Amino acid sequence: MNCIFCQIVEKNAHAEILYENDHIISFLDIRPVNLGHALVIPKIHYTDFLTIPENELDEIFKATQKVTSAIVDSVKPDGFNIVTNNGVAAGQSVFHFHLHIIPRFDKDNFAFRPIFKNYENNSMKDYANKIIAEIKL
Ligand SMILES: [Zn+2]
């Protein structure tokens, strides 16, 4: 498979690896928003958030907390974002699921700049009901 992250897992592509266990690998993003920006990926190739089995999610989040803690202690950011982009519309560019750990600094000039929408004509309740109907218990 021609997936750059799978190649990193297999050690066929170089990455600055921060942490690795049987389930995940974490390495520095080669295009950091801020220095110390890291990625956490499952070793198995899953396209996006919705295709990951629950037990793997646990491993990903545990490892993400461990690496984030190390970034906070070493890079000393003022805060951090943990984000995952899913789908082209959301900015996903490598289709092997990954979480970004982005160290943030006061006045680092990086921001999500949302233009907030309004729910018109009681449509908030409609959206809620539509979503609730699809929740699988
Ligand atoms: Zn992959």
CATH 3.40.30.10 corresponds to the domain 4-112 = no
Catalytic residues: 98
**In the predicted model, what is the mean pLDDT of residues 74-79?**
98
pTM for the structure as a whole: 0.92
Please write the tens of the pLDDT for every residue from 80-116: 999 999 999 999 999 999 999 999 999 999 888 889 9
CA of 43 to the centre of ligand 1 (A): 8
**In the predicted model, what is the mean pLDDT of residues 42-52?**
97
Predicted local distance difference test score (pLDDT) of residue 1: 65
- The torsion angles phi and psi of 89, rounded to 5 degrees, stand at -60, -25
**CA 17 from centre of chain:** 16
CA of 88 to the centre of ligand 1 (A): 16
**Contact call for residues 47 and 55 (beta carbons, < 8 A):** no
Residue with tokens 């006061």: 106
CA of 93 to the centre of ligand 1 (A): 12
CA of 125 to the centre of ligand 1 (A): 39
Structure tokens at 100: 């970004």
CA of 111 to the centre of ligand 1 (A): 28
**CA 10 from centre of chain:** 20
Confidence of residue 33 (pLDDT cuts 50, 70, 90): very high
H/E element, 136: none
Number of C-beta neighbours around residue 16 at 10 A? 10
- The structural domains of the chain, with segments of one domain joined by +, span 4-112
- What SS3 string covers 73-119? HHHCCCEEEEECCCCHHHCCCCCCCCEEEEEECCCCCCCCCCCCCCC
